[in-house]
Amino acid sequence: MECEFPTVNTDPEEFKEIFESVKTIAIPGLSPNEEKDSHRVAKYLQAQGYKIIPIYPKGETILGEKVYRSLEEVEEQIDMVDMFRKASVADAIVDAIAKRGDVKVLWLQKGIVNNEAAKRAQEMGIKVVQNRCTMVEHRGLFS
């Protein structure tokens, strides 16, 4: 396994503006397991007033929200994609974001870096954050 250093990243000075501008967050890899980081982060974001959209291959609801199998299935607007999947999946996520045209932010969670996908997203005008946790960053700014 080769680890990447994030060479494409939005300036942390912009994080506050990101959190204040987004309302709906799709979360690929959101697990129904309450002990998983994805579940804890999504629950936190939901408690902060964000609408979460679970993207997961199984189940009907997670945290009271309808589960979708892919970003392509979601009909409502998505402001941010907060990814809890392997770095290689970011390529397909960026492809799906390109087809949608409504996503403003791609956030790859702590430990996830895919500079090539990040660069493609950035070239589409999307803010990209890699290797950082939305919950940690939000708490640091608003708690």
The residues with which 83 forms a beta bridge, in sequence order, are 108
Split at pLDDT 50, 70, 90, the class of 10 is: confident
pTM for the whole structure: 0.95
Average pLDDT across the chain, whole number:
95
Specify the pairing of strand 65-66 against strand 61-62. Answer: antiparallel
Q: What are phi and psi of 24, to 5 degrees?
A: -120, 130
Q: Are 87 and 113 in contact (CB under 8 A)?
A: yes
Q: Is the per-residue pLDDT at 129 higher than 50?
A: yes
Ordered by where they begin, the domains of the chain are 12-142 (3.40.50.720)
- Polymer length in residues for the chain: 143
**Helices 134-142 and 37-47, interaxial angle, to 10°?**
30
| Most distant pair of Cα atoms in the chain: their distance | 37
Over the stretch 70-125, which tens digit does the pLDDT of each residue have? Answer: 999 999 999 999 999 999 999 999 999 999 999 999 999 999 999 999 999 999 99
